[in-house]
Amino acid sequence: MSKEKYTIDFTKVNYYLEMHGVIWHALEFPDYYGCNWDAFWDCLTDMYGDPIHIEIIGLDVIERKFGDAAKKMIEILRRFKHFGNDRFSDSIKIEIVSGNTRVSLR
């Protein structure tokens, strides 16, 4: 069963593994989450089936500190939203929040 909204808040992240820890806890991934992008994909796809709303705060922080990692995460989230010929895309909402601005991943 999924939550109404998952909020990933990167505003206080200083280290790479801390970024994955924030993801792990925010998305309520299982204890065996491997803190890498393959594990991120695997755990995300385990969430298919229920409506999913992911809100990302502080993306600018990880873009500044770990630019390639931020790009990889967004790439995976886009692939997740459109996986399986968009079979689940209507039930997946991913938003990037910066101040009062919200941008939905398409």
Residue 69 has pLDDT above 80, yes or no: yes
Rounded CA separation 59/11 (Å): 8
Residue 2 has pLDDT above 70, yes or no: no
Express each pLDDT in 80-106 by its tens digit.
Answer: 998 877 777 888 999 999 877 888 888
Mean pLDDT for 65-91 is 89
pTM beyond 0.85, yes or no: yes
Residue 32 has pLDDT above 80, yes or no: yes
3-state secondary structure the chain: CCCCCEEEECCCCCCHHHHHHHHHHHCCCCCCCCCCHHHHHHHHHCCCCCCEEEEEECHHHHHHHCHHHHHHHHHHHHHHHHHHHHCCHHHEEEEEEECCEEEECC
Which residue would you say has higher pLDDT here, 104 or 63? 63
